[in-house]
Structure 1
Amino acid sequence: MVSDVIDRNERFRGILDRLTTKSIDDYYNPYRLFEWPEKLPEDMWWMSPELTTTHGTELAEKLTPEQLHTLSRYESVNFYSLNVHGIRELLIEVVNRIHTKGFETPSEFFHHFIGEENEHMWFFAEFCLRYGGRIYRQPAGASAGPAPSPKIESLLVFCRIMIFEELVDHYNSTMAADKRLHETIRAINRIHHQDESRHIAFGRELVDLLYQDVKRTATEEELLEISHYLRRYMTHSFETLYHPQVYRDAGLDRPHEVRRALLDSPARAQAEDRAFRKTTKYLERTGIIR
């Protein structure tokens, strides 16, 4: 049973205690923390240019600085929209498991996790609605099909949560330190990075334990399918940053063709590798992906 694996692991219990204490010590009220200017300047970057989907491509060389700033504005809103949708999905999965059989030990930390993620979803949505006037819709996720067992289902759930959080944190940590961005943008990325560092530490420990438990009974075919699915999921997650409506709103012609060309660019593969460098290294080291 998962609960047996977790309960017997003193290291994990110690990590949970430290992360829970840090969540309490670092608590802040997001509804009072942020200053929301009426408008943000449009003649500047809203996302670090190295993180934009056109960076390093032929298209970027053809656009004017004004067009690149405009595009970064809509890509920024899409990125925070991704956070809203991703957080909602992970909250559903964690709420479904809190105080259930097999997850008794991490349930106290789940309470802090749920509270923090709910507040993250609020300030990302607030940014989108204030400065973009919308929350972009997102395509359906990469389907894994029905899981062969509850153990594998839970493993895939927490792998998806970890992958999502590590992808987002790659962007957060870069933008938090980027002085080319407005302080409001830097602030929301900085505070999210602060919280996500705890969530990522927790996620990696839990995923490792869940995988060790799954390995005891899963077939080689099932383990291989887990690996294939997670690689597909990482690619799908990264490709959601390439949104045709973003290109349309930024005034680019034939937005679906723009998206296809950018996805086919060598720069996209390089950017995906950079974004998931630490995640891929962890998943390969643990054997979760082959």
Structure 2
Amino acid sequence: MAGMTRQGGGPADGTGEAIDDTADDSAEFRALLDRLSDKATEDYYNPFTTFDWPERIPTDEFWMSPELLTVHGTDVMDALTPRQLLDLSRWESVHFYSLNVHGIRDLLIEVMRRVHTPGFRAPSEFFHHFIGEENDHMWFFATFCLKYADKIYPDKKLRLPEPPHDPAVENFLVFVRILVFEQIVDHYNVRLAGDERLHPTIRHINRLHHQDESRHIAFGRRLVELLWQRLCTAEPDEAVRRATGDYVGRYLTTMMESFYSPAVYRDAGIPDGFAVRKRLLAHPARHTAHAQVLRKTTDFLTRIGVLDAAR
């Protein structure tokens, strides 16, 4: 993303220009924040008392819907024994919650850096709900992994090169990454919460997470749209907008590829995990599956012009 230089009069503290007082629809944005904050208060639960963790979750049943496995629709899945398929569902479930632990930790760091800073006065009240809820999510995902698998898979996601320092670009990319992460995870949450083949504890975790994420996504979509508008105003250079859109496109790909873990395949008794990962990522059925997972995200980013800018 070379060539991203700051144009415009934002504050020098690196937080970017305020969206609070200059956005044409600030009253609408504030009303949304009020509604979401009220809903967060209404839906509040104590995670430490909400869950009745069973001693164990049987390993002779699915922990992840087979249709959501990274092998679904491929010859790799066809070659698995019934035992391997159950084991893969177990370890991909643990890996999914591990991805959540790492993703939530990263997004919390970025939001904490911006709460009550210039440019984020209006959303800071909702940020407090967001931070508290995401901390709760990280705790119950980590608890599941450690209690039923005795480990959290390490974060192996490819890190894209960070763009040159530019407040408008940085703020937009932080919140678009958060939105992408949340919408991908929510796609899985909805499917897992409704799958009666899964243990009640697994369904409960995913149902609660979706309940909170629906608010976070509504907030994130509006904030990302406002930050993109601010970026387009502050950075009139089309090359900057195109480079930003390219980065977002690569991030979408990176997020989907993070689900394919050689360590998971090894734990499930599938040999040559790296070769299997490469085969799966090249398989047309997996490309179709990725498009389905990302559909709401790509539709939104195209509508507001981010992915159009990339093209």
* Aligned-partner Cα distance in 2 for 1:233–1:101: 27
1:45 maps to which of 53, 58, 62: 62
1:246 maps to which of 261, 264, 267: 264
Contact 1:77 1:128 in 2 (8 A): yes
Q: Does 1:213 align with 2:230?
A: yes
1:60 maps to which of 72, 77, 80: 77
Residue 125 of structure 1: CA displacement?
Answer: 0.2
Residue 145 of structure 1: CA displacement?
Answer: 2.4
1:2 maps to which of 15, 18, 41: 18
Which secondary structure does the structure 2 equivalent of 1:42 belong to? Answer: coil
Contact 1:7 1:13 in 2 (8 A): no
Paired letter, 2:57: L
Stretches of structure 2 that go unaligned for 5 or more consecutive residues are: 1-16
Q: Does 1:134 align with 2:155?
A: no
* Aligned-partner Cα distance in 2 for 1:246–1:36: 24
Which runs of structure 2 are paired with 1:1-290 in the superposition (5 Å)?
1-3=17-19, 4-6=21-23, 9-218=26-235, 219-290=237-308
Residue 217 of structure 1: CA displacement?
Answer: 2.5
Residue 146 of structure 1: CA displacement?
Answer: 2.9
Stretches of structure 1 that go unaligned for 5 or more consecutive residues are: none
Residue 2 of structure 1: CA displacement?
Answer: 2.5
Contact 2:65 2:195 in 1 (8 A): yes
Q: Deviations over 1:14-63 (max 9, x none)?
A: 00000000000000000110111111111111011110001000011111
Contact 2:157 2:254 in 1 (8 A): no
**Identity of matched residues, %:** 55
Residue 148 of structure 1: CA displacement?
Answer: 4.6
Paired letter, 1:62: A
* Aligned-partner Cα distance in 2 for 1:153–1:159: 10
* TM-score (norm: length of structure 1): 0.98
Paired letter, 2:67: E
* TM-score (norm: length of structure 2): 0.91
Paired letter, 1:110: F
Which region of structure 1 is more displaced relative to structure 2, 32-41 or 132-141? 132-141
* Aligned-partner Cα distance in 2 for 1:184–1:7: 45
Contact 1:47 1:73 in 2 (8 A): yes
Task: Identify the structure with the greater helix proportion.
Answer: 1
Residue 289 of structure 1: CA displacement?
Answer: 1.1
* Aligned-partner Cα distance in 1 for 2:77–2:157: 28
Contact 2:36 2:126 in 1 (8 A): yes
Q: Deviations over 1:41-98 (max 9, x none)?
A: 1111101111000100001111122210110000000000000000000000000000
Paired letter, 1:31: F
Contact 1:162 1:203 in 2 (8 A): yes
* Aligned-partner Cα distance in 2 for 1:279–1:216: 23
Residue 140 of structure 1: CA displacement?
Answer: 4.3
Paired letter, 1:154: N
Distance 1:35 1:6, change over 3 A: farther
Which secondary structure does the structure 2 equivalent of 1:80 belong to? Answer: helix
Which secondary structure does the structure 2 equivalent of 1:101 belong to? Answer: coil
Q: Tell me how many residue pairs correspond in the alignment.
A: 290
Paired letter, 2:248: L
Q: Deviations over 1:204-260 (max 9, x none)?
A: 000000010110131101100111111110110111110110001111111111111
Contact 1:162 1:200 in 2 (8 A): yes
Paired letter, 2:22: V
